[in-house]
A and B are shown apart, each in its own frame.
Chain A
Amino acid sequence: MSAHTLAEKILMRASGAASVRAGEIVVAKVDLAMMHDSGGPRRVAPYLQQLEAKVWDPEKVVLVSDHYVPAVDPQSAAILSLTRRWAHENGITRFHDMQGICHVVLQEYAHLRPGMLVVGGDSHSPSGGAVGAFMVGIGATEMAGVLATGEIWLRVPETVRVSWTGQLAAGVCAKDMMLALCRDLGQNNDYKAIEYCGSAVTALPMAERFVLCNMSAELGAKTGMIAPDEKTLAEIRANGGDIADSALQWRSDENAAIERVVEFDAGRLAPQVAAPHSPGNSLAVDQVGRVRIDQAYIGACTGAKLTDLQMAAQVLRGKKVAPHVRLLVAPASLRTTQLAAADGTLATLTAAGAILLPTGCGACAGYGAGVLAEGEVCISSTARNFKGRMGHATSQVYLGSPFTVAASAVTGHVTDPRALLH
């Protein structure tokens, strides 16, 4: 038996091919399809009607309302109502209504397993790779095709291995790793699978590994993946998932064809900030210069999980948000909110002056509360700072870790969090 990468192994299993190589096109059976309220039912239902097709297997569909929640106008209310009706009519039992952001919910409810082939109607679908699944983002038309047939064509990707050796310093986290990568690897790693490994990756909790895979989307990659280990299995079990130890087999073979290996030293990484209007526009926080901010935003799948809120709380404990700044916090899921309420994290944040927003995508993509006015400057723990994404086309969004966002909220300008941590 010849050696294969993790991506190749999953596509072999899903396509039934005895062997596949990077560059080939395979037609594969999908194990799970995830959709949300924005790209989901409202867009796929008309296509399914045109095809006179039904959902191939309602058990294999996860639907999440997160983009337009809670409704802010009649249009978003209509989108949500349509989403709920569609879930009901199509027998979708795994419908998570307003329980959190889709990528986070998928993991909280243990819908993912190592070795699965998953498609998601969202570009941050590589998030699923954090547990060793092969998960790719697709658009609505393609989703309709998957729902009708249970299949998709995929080009087998080359694998690029990103190895982080050493250990992260205090006040530095997965978001900093990814902002540095967006700069150093660039954003055009199209059609590649990025495999993260090395001591600094192994040391990360699952929620932080998620950030690496999630922001693989910003590298332009097809997907990001981390081979499962004991931590992966423990997390799936803790979330109520049933999984055998044999799932640890889902990893690249020793001599698999890796296109290239890039090494980084986690110990030398400083907090990173991406200046407008691209995540690749990043630099060490002390290189940014004095940038006064109007808003600090802690939100999104990548930046408002429990670990992220805890990072912010570490900085904010006993401090106050600067008078001219509004600090907005939109927890990534209902469970995040519950856990952060229980362990005192929310109390720390609100005592510092943070305004709590509803769970959901919120201002991340400019759909929900917290968007920016003309010329306003925001530092945000979200994944993208494209021009106009978070509000007015002239607004300026800087990206940073929850540590950095919290520190900047306190001082009122983009700030190195290491100075404020105790």
Chain B
Amino acid sequence: MSAKLENLRGRAWVFGDNIDTDLLAPGHAMRKPLAELAQHCLEAIDPQFARSVHQGDFIVAGTGFGIGSSREQAAQALAHLGVGAVLAVAPARIFYRNAINLGLPVVRFPHADSVRPGDDLVVDLVHGCVYNLTRNTEHDCEPVPEFLRDVLQAGGLIPHLRTRLRRQ
């Protein structure tokens, strides 16, 4: 699994600043099952997103990604749709924690503006590197702290805790 965190590959979906939790998991769909809710993910700004995103694709965004509510479905919808990682200039605090706890990697990526929609990226979350194969560039991102890598590698907080509680 650690090899995976070092070598994620996918296409980039590029969004701007302040993509809030109501855009990721709209209130009107909140009482629906996740599979259905996920179909509404980001519909207000990109109606094609949920239908067209592929397993392993990346979200590349600006500041305030995931601001707003604590609803975990914001991160869950992305994970459900197969998003491999979120690379944002500044991910919002609760979204960040929620995503890591669900096993969806999120990293601070100050150079989000170097990426264009559809770019082919390889991301190394352990050393903090984003390779843009389309543009032949390489930029730093913040590596995931070891403490949280353990959670991601276990597949999220629940499997991580299950191992811990079993050990006790």
Contacts and interface: CB of A to CB of B under 8 A. Distances in A.
Q: Are A and B part of the same complex?
A: yes
A145 B67 contact: no
A194 to B, nearest CB: 13
B90 interface: yes
Given A38-B30, A75-B31, A222-B93, A139 B158 contact: no
A386 B18 CA distance: 10
Contact of A138 (B28, B44, B64, B70): B70
Contact of B70 (A121, A191, A391): A121
A140 B44 contact: no
A33 to B, nearest CB: 13
Given A366-B27, A386-B21, 11 more contacts: A51-B162, A137-B94, A138-B94, A139-B70, A139-B97, A141-B98, A141-B102, A190-B90, A388-B28, A388-B44, A393-B44
A337 to B, nearest CB: 24
Nearest to B145: A25
A148 interface: yes
A393 B44 CA distance: 6
A38 B93 contact: no
Interface in B64-115: 64, 67-72, 75, 90-94, 97-98, 101-102
Interface string A211-236: 00000000010100000000000000
A388 B27 contact: yes
Interface in A258-299: 278
Given A220-B67, A386-B22, A50 B97 contact: no
Contacts of B70: 39, 121-123, 125, 137-139
A326 interface: no
Contacts of B162: 50-51
A388 B67 contact: no
A384 interface: yes
Contacts of B18: 187, 278
Contacts of B101: 139, 141-142, 145
Interface in B1-56: 18, 20-23, 26-28, 30-32, 43-45
A191 B90 CA distance: 11
Contacts of B30: 38, 365-367
B161 A149 contact: yes
Closest 7 CB pairs of A and B: A366-B27, A139-B98, A139-B72, A141-B101, A123-B70, A386-B22, A393-B44
A19 interface: no
B21 to A, nearest CB: 8
22 contacts: A51-B161, A51-B165, A122-B70, A123-B21, A123-B70, A137-B70, A137-B94, A139-B72, A139-B75, A187-B18, A222-B93, A365-B69, A367-B27, A386-B20, A387-B20, A388-B23, A388-B26, A388-B27, A388-B44, A389-B22, A389-B27, A391-B28
A139 B158 CA distance: 13
Contacts of A141: 72, 98, 101-102, 156-158
Contacts of A393: 26, 43-44
Contacts of B132: none
A191 B93 contact: yes
B165 A148 contact: yes
A249 interface: no
Contacts of B156: 141
User: SS class of chain B's interface: helix, strand, loop or mixed?
Assistant: mixed
Nearest to B17: A188
A250 interface: no
Nearest to B93: A190
A134 interface: no
A79 interface: yes
Contacts of B32: 75
Contacts of A39: 70-72
Contact of A190 (B43, B69, B92): B92
Given A122-B70, A139-B101, A387-B44, A220 B31 contact: no
Contacts of B92: 190, 220
B22 A139 contact: no
A123 B69 contact: yes
Contacts of A153: 147
Contacts of B64: 187-188, 220
B149 to A, nearest CB: 13
A210 interface: no
Contacts of A256: none
Nearest to B95: A139
A371 B26 CA distance: 13
A163 interface: no
Interface in B102-134: 102
B27 A140 contact: no
Interface string A14-47: 0000000000010000000000001100010001
